[in-house]
């Protein structure tokens, strides 16, 4: 469950899954060797997200892969997730850890060196950095144009935390993100919308491994 070992990180979103259910996508990604799964699922009710989280908890636990919940510390606790990923406007890292326990993994979204340093000082276990490239995911900072791999390098050099690149990443450009210093990459559509999510996960992992 060490973020330093994460190469591929799936962020779920049913609306970007080509009509397939999220459980099927996660199962395929687990078969493909994904290292971490984040329950995101924007646009659904709390009850739906909770029920899905319970089912994903079973799948990820059986596979020995950590499950995190996007933004919602309460849902993370309710489904016994391994941790939470927090945006800049979410609860402080220390509060999330207090509610989820000292062993919980707490990540923070960042897009600047200053934000990454603040996350490190607050005790985050890793930082998600993006959007690296332009993306249609609305809640990724700087999603329209992307911050580029130079920012990945700057942040990786500035903080002693695992850096997970996110935003517009796929197998064609993931190598550049890893080569710039990212520990791994977080993706939505590169896996959820793929014709073969298992193969897409395996290919992404191989690209990141080769570039590191």
Contact (Cβ atoms closer than 8 angstroms) between residue 151 and residue 129: yes
Residue from 7, 40, 57, 97 carrying the catalytic annotation? 40
Cα of 116 vs its chain's centroid, Å: 16
SS3 of 63, please?
helix
Q: Which residues contact 61 (CB under 8 A, 6 or more apart)?
A: 67
Q: Is 144 among the annotated ligand-binding positions?
A: no
Give catalytic status of residue 15 as yes or no. Answer: no
- The span from the CA of 2 to the CA of 125, in Å, is 9
Q: Is 209 among the annotated ligand-binding positions?
A: no
Residue from 49, 97, 109, 111 carrying the catalytic annotation? 109
Q: Is 125 among the annotated ligand-binding positions?
A: no
Q: What secondary structure letter does DSSP report for 210?
A: H
Q: Is 2 among the annotated ligand-binding positions?
A: no
SS3 of 187, please?
strand
Q: Is 42 among the annotated ligand-binding positions?
A: yes
Give catalytic status of residue 109 as yes or no. Answer: yes
Please state at what angle helix 22-31 crosses helix 46-63, rounded to 10 degrees. 20
Give catalytic status of residue 4 as yes or no. Answer: no
Q: Is 15 among the annotated ligand-binding positions?
A: no
Q: Is 135 among the annotated ligand-binding positions?
A: yes
Q: Is 39 among the annotated ligand-binding positions?
A: yes
Q: Is 189 among the annotated ligand-binding positions?
A: yes
Contact (Cβ atoms closer than 8 angstroms) between residue 202 and residue 29: no
- Pick out the residues of the known binding site for Mg(2+): 71, 90
Catalytically active residues, by annotation? 40, 109, 138
- Pick out the residues of the known binding site: 38-42, 70-71, 90, 109, 135-138, 168, 188-189
């Amino acid at each position: 469950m060490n973020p330093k070992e994460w190469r591929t990180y799936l962020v779920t979103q049913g609306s970007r899954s080509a009509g397939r259910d999220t459980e099927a996508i996660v199962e395929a990604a687990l078969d493909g060797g994904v290292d971490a799964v984040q329950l995101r699922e924007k646009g659904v009710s709390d009850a739906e997200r909770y029920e899905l989280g319970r089912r994903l908890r079973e799948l990820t636990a059986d596979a020995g892969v950590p499950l995190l919940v996007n933004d919602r510390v309460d849902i993370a606790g309710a489904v016994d997730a391994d941790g939470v990923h927090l945006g800049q406007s979410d609860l402080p890292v220390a509060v999330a850890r207090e509610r989820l326990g000292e062993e919980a993994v707490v990540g923070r979204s960042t897009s600047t060196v200053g934000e990454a340093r603040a996350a490190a000082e607050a005790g985050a276990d890793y930082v998600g950095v993006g959007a690296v490239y332009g993306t249609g995911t609305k809640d990724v900072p700087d999603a329209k144009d992307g911050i580029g791999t130079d920012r990945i390098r700057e942040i990786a050099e500035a903080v002693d935390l695992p850096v997970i690149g996110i935003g517009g990443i796929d197998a064609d450009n993931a190598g550049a993100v890893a080569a710039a210093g990212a520990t791994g990459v977080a993706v939505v559509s590169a896996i959820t919308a793929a014709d073969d999510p298992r193969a897409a996960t395996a290919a992404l992992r191989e690209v990141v491994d080769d570039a590191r």
